[in-house]
């Protein structure tokens, strides 16, 4: 009998179907050892030695695994092939180290949970990669040191229960800086001139872009007066076609999905958060029950930055295209994509279906709505990347408005037409087709209308989750497995909230960011954080020792913390109000906590009265009876943006009754 240990019950259930009675497949339910929550858990004086413990909730699982391990002849660790998975395998090996059946070559890996992949992995076991384990340990210890040293400083200087993380703080900075750009933004007025023409009952519009030899930039026409002056100059002009330029361009397919591009696509198309996308992708990877076919993994491992696709899969995809599409949709050769990042692991694959023959519509009845959407997206993107380029015809027409004693005025119109859809047939993207009527050079045109249009510049848009991931990836901050946790942490700390799919910093998020930028600029520096990511990658490749890397960072950081403890004064974050405390008669002030604004008595600590700050809330109305204070309004339950319930008078602000506790009416 042989024992295979994985990290997920679903994964264990899927794998057990492929193997006979000679195998037992068990789950560790994630990490079985970790640093303690209540203490630092790192011995700084002993070269940053971690003090791992088995959490109370994992002791039962560990005991069961030990008993199972003692009854078998061989043990294999089949956790995911990334740093987290390698670390879980190492921790398991450490715990089971006294068991005789544990061999050196007991690590098996696969990119997809299919029978073929699992059986092939069992034929080629390897040793646990200690370099990957060291890289995971280094990240965990580094983040623990930053959090445990910096967070208490925030408690003492800003508000209780705040936290600062090494990577989350950089992500917060991006969001806050974008908000500051928006606040400083001043709209700028500009105008455009558009002419409408008629040809064979087809109307089309062109825009003024040049007067004489001078090309007009965006802000060339600054106001209505200038626009009207141009219209006056054009009175009585005749219009004709100066030039027609036609060009056919090839639009190559998009590469297969990596973690970040999948998160971005799911966010744009379905509004899914990074966390939701990864949860659904994990389900597809670990296995879905497909009727008589049984439970099977539908996609390859979803935490990857590689664009590589397995040779066998590429051959299978070409065969599928030959069988299901006209021949002109199949390129002459297999298309391969080169990963841009030097740090990507080419041994990994891009995210793809485990079989291209498993069409989304065929298995739709077995999937939830979210699972179908993500699987369909992955299936289409992967198939499309092996199809022919789309052919797009572009037409650029120059129209001249000519009038004696005036410079020629040039108008331009662009037309776009898809001549051959190619890969767009299976993975449509937004292409604005504008088909123009048949026109000839020097042809006179009938002007229907010419008008000035007023515009104003807009502030830069707030980040969506997809856009934030894209920027983090651009700066080299974080890795495929960390994007979703980074953003989730910002929400959990109440440093950001979401409105219309966009990320907005809270007041407390801004305060934390301001303090970090002022006093700990390195922690929130993009280049510095990216450099640390590179150093972690060097550890993973065995080119750097993790203890030295942490020491080089920690000792200067520790010294800086001690200096700032003396330098930074406690920030009194409060705003005055006209409201009076009903318990002691002193003014109420607006204060900040990690949950946002609240009202507190200025007589604290003698009077500890606090109340909700209603202006920062979202209503979730539920009537509980007549207000005991004004006896006119109704008591309504509301919720803060963090989701905490409180009760207030419906006549607010005329009646300022509000309480955390449900009133006895």
Question: Rounded to whole angstroms, how far apart are CA atoms 539 and 266?
Answer: 32
Question: Rounded to whole angstroms, how far apart are CA atoms 87 and 89?
Answer: 5
The CA dihedral of 88, 90, 92, 93, to the nearest 10 degrees, is: 160
C-alpha torsion sign, points 149, 153, 156, 162: negative
Question: Rounded to whole angstroms, how far apart are CA atoms 264 and 465?
Answer: 8
Helix 465-475 with 274-286: angle, nearest 10 deg = 80
Show the 3-state SS of 427-445: CCCCCCCECCCCCCCCCEE
Strand locations in 531-607 (E): 574-580, 587-593, 596-601
Tokens of 371: 């699972």
The gap from C-alpha 103 to its chain's centroid, in whole angstroms, comes to 40
Question: Rounded to whole angstroms, how far apart are CA atoms 586 and 260?
Answer: 53
Peptide bond preceding 616: is omega within 30 degrees of 0, i.e. cis?
A: no
How would you class 6 by CB atoms within 10 Å of its CB: exposed for 0-12, middle for 13-18, buried for 19 or more?
buried
Tokens of 421: 């859809």
Question: Rounded to whole angstroms, how far apart are CA atoms 141 and 632?
Answer: 58
Residue 554 annotated among the catalytic residues of the structure: no
Task: Find, among 128, 131, 122, the residue nearest to 107 by Cα.
Answer: 128
Q: Which of 301, 329, 463, 657 is catalytic?
A: 301
Residue with tokens 């209780």: 160
Question: Rounded to whole angstroms, how far apart are CA atoms 228 and 221?
Answer: 10
Query: What is the rounded radius of gyration, in angstroms, for the C-alpha atoms of the chain?
Result: 31
The gap from C-alpha 620 to its chain's centroid, in whole angstroms, comes to 29
Question: Rounded to whole angstroms, how far apart are CA atoms 300 and 359?
Answer: 15
The gap from C-alpha 14 to its chain's centroid, in whole angstroms, comes to 29
**What separation, in Å, do the N-terminal and C-terminal C-alpha atoms of the chain show?**
67
Tell me the C-alpha to C-alpha distance, in Å, between residue 265 and each of 187, 370, 475.
31, 14, 19
Tokens of 278: 């990864």
Tell me how long the chain is.
665
Active site residues: 301
């Amino acid at each position: 009998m042989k024992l295979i240990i994985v990290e997920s019950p679903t994964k264990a259930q899927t794998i057990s179907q492929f193997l006979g009675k000679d195998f037992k497949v068990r789950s560790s339910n994630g990490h079985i050892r970790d640093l303690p929550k209540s203490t630092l858990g790192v011995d700084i004086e002993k070269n940053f030695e971690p003090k791992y413990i088995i959490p109370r909730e994992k002791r039962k699982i560990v005991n069961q695994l030990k008993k199972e391990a003692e009854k078998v002849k061989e043990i294999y660790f089949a956790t995911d092939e990334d740093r987290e998975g390698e670390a879980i395998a190492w921790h398991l090996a450490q715990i089971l180290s006294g068991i005789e059946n544990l061999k050196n070559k007991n690590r098996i890996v696969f990119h997809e949970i299919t029978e073929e992949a699992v059986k092939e992995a069992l034929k080629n076991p390897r040793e646990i990669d200690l370099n990957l384990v060291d890289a995971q340990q280094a990240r965990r210890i580094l983040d623990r040191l930053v959090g445990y040293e910096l967070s208490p400083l925030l408690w003492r200087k800003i508000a209780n229960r705040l936290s600062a993380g090494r990577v989350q703080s950089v992500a917060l900075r991006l969001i806050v800086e974008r908000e500051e750009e928006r606040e400083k933004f001043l709209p700028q007025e500009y105008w455009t001139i558009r002419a409408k023409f008629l040809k064979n009952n087809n109307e089309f519009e062109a825009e003024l872009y040049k007067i004489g030899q001078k090309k007009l930039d965006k802000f060339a026409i600054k106001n209505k007066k200038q626009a009207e002056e141009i219209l006056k100059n054009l009175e009585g002009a005749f219009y004709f076609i100066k030039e027609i330029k036609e060009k056919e361009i090839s639009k190559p397919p998009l590469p297969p999905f990596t973690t970040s591009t999948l998160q971005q696509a799911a966010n744009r198309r379905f509004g899914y958060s990074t966390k939701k996308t990864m949860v659904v992708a994990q389900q597809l990877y670990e296995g879905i029950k497909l009727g008589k076919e049984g439970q099977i993994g539908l996609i390859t491992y979803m935490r990857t930055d590689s664009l590589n696709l397995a040779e066998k899969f590429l051959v299978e995809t070409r065969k599928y295209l030959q069988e299901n599409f006209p021949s002109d949709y199949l390129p002459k050769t297999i298309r391969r994509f080169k990963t841009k990042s030097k740090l990507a692991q080419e041994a990994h694959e891009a995210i793809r279906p485990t079989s291209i023959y498993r069409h989304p519509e065929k298995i739709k009845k077995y999937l939830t709505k979210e699972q179908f959407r993500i699987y369909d997206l992955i299936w289409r993107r992967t198939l499309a990347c092996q199809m022919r380029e789309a052919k797009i015809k572009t037409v650029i027409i120059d129209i001249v408005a000519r009038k004696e004693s005036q410079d020629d005025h040039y108008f331009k119109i662009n037309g776009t037409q898809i001549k051959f859809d190619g890969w767009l047939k299976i993975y449509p993207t937004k292409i604005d087709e504008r088909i123009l009527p048949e026109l000839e050079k020097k042809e006179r045109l009938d002007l229907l209308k010419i008008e000035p249009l007023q515009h104003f510049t807009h502030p830069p848009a707030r980040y969506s989750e997809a856009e934030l991931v894209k920027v983090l990836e651009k700066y080299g901050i974080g890795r495929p497995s960390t994007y979703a946790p980074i953003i989730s942490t910002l929400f959990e700390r109440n440093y950001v909230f979401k409105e219309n799919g966009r990320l907005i910093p809270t007041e407390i998020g801004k305060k934390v960011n301001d303090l970090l930028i002022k006093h700990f600029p390195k922690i929130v520096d993009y280049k510095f954080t990216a450099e640390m990511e590179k150093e972690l990658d060097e550890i993973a490749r065995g080119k750097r020792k993790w203890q030295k890397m942490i020491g080089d960072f920690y000792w200067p950081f520790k010294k800086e913390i001690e200096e700032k403890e003396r330098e930074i004064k406690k920030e009194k974050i409060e705003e005055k109000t006209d409201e009076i405390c009903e318990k002691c008669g002193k003014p109420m002030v607006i204060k900040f906590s990690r949950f946002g604004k609240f009202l507190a008595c200025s007589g604290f600590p003698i009077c500890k009265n606090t109340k909700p700050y209603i202006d920062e809330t979202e209503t979730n109305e539920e009537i509980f009876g007549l207000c005991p204070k004004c006896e006119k309004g109704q008591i309504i339950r509301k919720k803060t943006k963090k989701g905490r319930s409180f009760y207030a008078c419906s006549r607010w602000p005329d009646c300022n009754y509000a309480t955390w506790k449900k009133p006895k009416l």
